[in-house]
Chains A and B, each alone.
Chain A
Amino acid sequence: MTPVAAALGGAFSMAAGGALAGLVTPARWRSAVVGAATAGVGIAGAIAGLAAVSGTGWQVRLPDLLPLAGVSLTVDAVGGWFLLLIGGVAAVVGVYTVGYTGQTGHGPAARGALALVPLFVAAMLLVPAAGSVSTFLLAWELMAVTSLLLMLAEHRHTPAVRTAGLWYAAMTQAGFVAVLLGLAWLAAAAGGESFDTIRDRAAQLSPLASSGVFLLCLAGFASKAGVVPLHPWLPRAHAEAPSHVSALMSAAMVKLGVYGIVRIAFDLLGGGPRWWWLLLGALGALSALYGILQAAVATDLKRLLAFSTSENVGLILLGLAAAGLLAGAGQFTVAGVAVAAALLHAANHAGFKTLLFCGAGSVLRATGTRDLDELGGLSRRMPATTVLVGVGVLGAAALPPGNGFISEWLLLQALLHRDPAGGTTLIIAAPVAVAVVALTAGVGVATYVKALGTGFLARPRSTKASDAVESPPTMLAGMGLAAAVCAGLAVFPAVTAPALDRVTSGLRVGSAPMQGGVDLQLAGVAASISPLWIAVGAVGLAVAVAAVARTTGRTRRRAAAWDCGDGPLTARMEYTSTSFAEPLQRVFDDVLAPEQDIDVTHPAESAYLVRTVEYRRRLPDRVEARLFGPLMTAVSSIGQAARGLATGSVHRYLAYMLTALVAVLIAGVFR
């Protein structure tokens, strides 16, 4: 029995056991048992992934498990990378869940809501392990259904959960139909449904078939990955789901959309014409920019994180698109760097987004609100959470020495170090992509400064924030684990080099030429970076400045802060989330099109005096309104028209059926 088989077997049996335990254990122990089981499933999945990226693949066919098609599992290096990612996220979230849904927690602790968590993780592990079209589709649907049910756990409390659930259900099913059509077409054209067969025969596919399959699969996978313009479900679902579920969805499930694109476009279809990659890159750039802009102006903490997920997926797609273009132009070394950047960014994003969503859950538990305008001052009441969220924010803002910085640096290296003689398309597309990455990173810094600054620093702006209490140890432990992984990836990214090397060679885009222990060097590309020394330098510099200021500066004295002579400083004078983002909102006014309202009321005596000023702002999602508004109007008008068909008469319904039957038979006669 290979290690992958043993670990995956352990993961699936633990998931079944955990689900069962969730149903039968009394409420007092339920969270602990299910959380431990989820963490166990995650660890086992991560071990399987680790074994797979270390070069021990595994393949099995279980023909009797399902009628007609059977189940076929294949774990290779590419699948292993995503197994590792999902397993890691699930392990952390499992620990966090123990506290979050426990006695002093905040999350839903009902039987079903907990029993489904390990099943959801198992379904996610099954997706990258699938080795045939039918198994993949089964796992995909299992994942969609379990995540939907988990998301709806709190539907009794807020109507917004129901709306979000409806959006998610509709979009995930539409995406599933697209993937189903695409993969069915692929299997039919290739004459077999196992991934091995498809891979062997992909070269003989007609251009129409392979492009059609690519477009259909791209639509399905992009909607799962939250790529703009197929994103409207994402900010709703991630914001309204219980936080441990949001973390699983945003950090792990969304990555499986990326996995789908990698598996189909690179592995099974073996690359394609240039326009595929330009389309993918355009979608990536749009997601990155639009996602981060919406995140920058969001006041709901979880909505901010959700839109930032769209942004990061956009950057990942940008890397994949660059890899496809570069491989098509024969520049395999740089293509390898681009794929490695994309995959490493997927892992980094999984790390810091798990941490941040868990942090948002802690805030929600402590204060009962996600509105950044109502928060502030949490650093005093929740110091440990603030430090941990700070680590996540550092990674998400892509600033050194955070982990997001490393992968964005790699992405930029790939875009900058292409061969100048690589063709006109590349010459135009690569600098545009660099500009997109730079703008995204810039707005990203502002976004996360806002999240941390207005949410955690300064004074509390509401009683909810001032009454906050620190999270229980299990929640902090979960977040601490995630923070440790983020820090590890930030300081020693080179440990991933052998694994990424195997993954990229498995994808046939050229090996990722990353080497090094402490330094990260790109062989064949003149670039190297030393994350450890950057971190040591940054910390050392900060310590040195503080020490110098302490020893040589003037002695510290305590005094009241300058308040313009207008009484004591109050929390009303602070930057809120809205006011912090206001300049950005002005700059990007044409893109965001905010709806603003200012009401000024005057006292009766004089119109020159002001009594109150009321400012209201709404930021509707324009892409959603323009694209999905007309679509939904059309669908509902068709539905209204179709109601005329259903009058309630049984005879009429029977007549419809008879007519349909006769029509089909007549069509059969004249075929």
Chain B
Amino acid sequence: MSGPFHTQLLNLACGLFVLTAVGVLWRRELSALIGLLTVQGVALTGIAALLAVDVGSGEAIAVATGVGILKAVLLPLLLRRVLRRVPEARETAPLVNVSASLLAAAALTLLAYAAARPLVALGPEPTAHAAPVGIAVLLIGFFLATTRRRAISQIIGVLLIDNGIAAVAFLATGGVPLVMELGVSVDLLLAVLVLQVLTTRLQAAFGDTDLDDLRELHDR
């Protein structure tokens, strides 16, 4: 299936994908962040599914299903479990305030589109044209991890980075082998599990999860 409708759907998914990333910078309630991340996972699944329909192979459909289960169901569930144990509702004092963050996100998106020109020039397909979206989300995720204090925000930043990378992989190559996606997914799941443990320990040790409390971890 290919045609203007298909392209429209793909663009919709990509738009949703980048919009949720910006939304994550905008909102301060941690539960809202998780909700936005779920929506983003759905958008990424949509991209993978559209590609799978495009290719029409069983492997691609399996990849899309796997991505959907992991990013839209499993990871948000894990994060909500962390949030229940760590009763912090809001990101109170980000290192960069929200309006400046949004401006930075605009600049980073601009940079992503500028830097991805060679990637776009690879082919005339709409998928290649959408590839900069992934890079933009990657940069926004990095920015989030750099400027937010709460541990959960940082995990979400890491997940945004991974979503960005996955989106670039899907859009630029037109499908990722199942083995590779499986490896990356398991890796990511493990990282989130470790971060979950770290967060609960942080809470137990300091009473909150401000990562700037961990300043002693350097050599003298």
Q: Which residues of A contact B (CB under 8 A)?
A: 643, 646-651, 654-655, 657-658, 661-662, 665-666, 668-669
Contacts and interface: CB of A to CB of B under 8 A. Distances in A.
Nearest to B215: A648
A661 B211 contact: no
A669 B115 contact: yes
A248 to B, nearest CB: 37
B21 to A, nearest CB: 15
7 contacts: A648-B215, A650-B212, A658-B139, A661-B139, A661-B142, A665-B114, A665-B115
Given A654-B145, A658-B146, A643 B212 contact: no
Contacts of B220: 643
A627 to B, nearest CB: 29
- By CB atoms of chain B within 10 A, which of A647, A650, A668 has the most? A650
Contacts of A648: 214-218
Contacts of B214: 648, 650
B170 interface: no
A515 B145 CA distance: 77
Contacts of A643: 219-220
Contacts of A647: 215, 218
B211 A651 contact: yes
B50 to A, nearest CB: 27
A649 B112 CA distance: 27
Contact of B146 (A646, A654, A665, A669): A654
A262 to B, nearest CB: 44
B142 A658 contact: yes
B174 to A, nearest CB: 23
Interface in B137-154: 139, 142-143, 145-147, 149, 154
Nearest to A665: B115
Given A651-B149, A669-B114, 6 more contacts: A647-B215, A648-B214, A648-B218, A661-B139, A669-B111, A669-B117
A669 B212 CA distance: 34
B82 to A, nearest CB: 17
B12 interface: no
A318 to B, nearest CB: 47
A666 B142 contact: no
Interface string B90-125: 000001000000000000100110110100000000
Nearest to B141: A658
Interface of B: 95, 108, 111-112, 114-115, 117, 139, 142-143, 145-147, 149, 154, 211-212, 214-220
A666 B154 CA distance: 25
A658 B218 CA distance: 20
A655 to B, nearest CB: 5
A661 B161 CA distance: 13
B146 A651 contact: yes
Closest 7 CB pairs of A and B: A648-B218, A665-B115, A648-B215, A654-B146, A669-B114, A658-B142, A650-B211
A377 B146 CA distance: 72
Contacts of A669: 111, 114-115, 117
A652 to B, nearest CB: 9
A18 B216 CA distance: 47
A647 B216 CA distance: 8
Given A646-B219, A648-B218, A658-B142, A665 B111 contact: yes
A649 B111 contact: no
Contacts of B142: 654, 657-658, 661
A202 to B, nearest CB: 36
A662 B218 contact: no
A106 B95 CA distance: 62
A555 B115 CA distance: 101
Contacts of B149: 651
Contacts of B217: 648
Given A661-B142, A669-B114, A651 B95 contact: yes
- By CB atoms of chain B within 10 A, which of A649, A651, A668 has the most? A651
A665 to B, nearest CB: 4
- By CB atoms of chain B within 10 A, which of A643, A646, A655, A666 has the most? A655
Contacts of A665: 111-112, 114-115
A669 B113 CA distance: 10
A655 B215 CA distance: 15
A654 B139 CA distance: 12
Contacts of B219: 643, 646
- By CB atoms of chain A within 10 A, which of B108, B142, B219 has the most? B142
A649 B146 contact: no
A493 B102 CA distance: 82
Contacts of B112: 665
B115 A668 contact: yes
A381 B1 CA distance: 93
Nearest to B151: A650
Contacts of A662: 108, 111, 139
A222 B139 CA distance: 46
A118 B133 CA distance: 54
A323 B154 CA distance: 65
Nearest to A654: B146
Nearest to B108: A662
A647 B212 CA distance: 11
B110 to A, nearest CB: 10
A657 B157 CA distance: 14
Contacts of B108: 662
A648 B149 CA distance: 14
Contacts of B215: 647-649
A651 B111 contact: no
Contacts of A646: 218-219
Nearest to A659: B146
A647 B95 CA distance: 17
B207 to A, nearest CB: 18
A60 to B, nearest CB: 32
A649 B115 contact: no
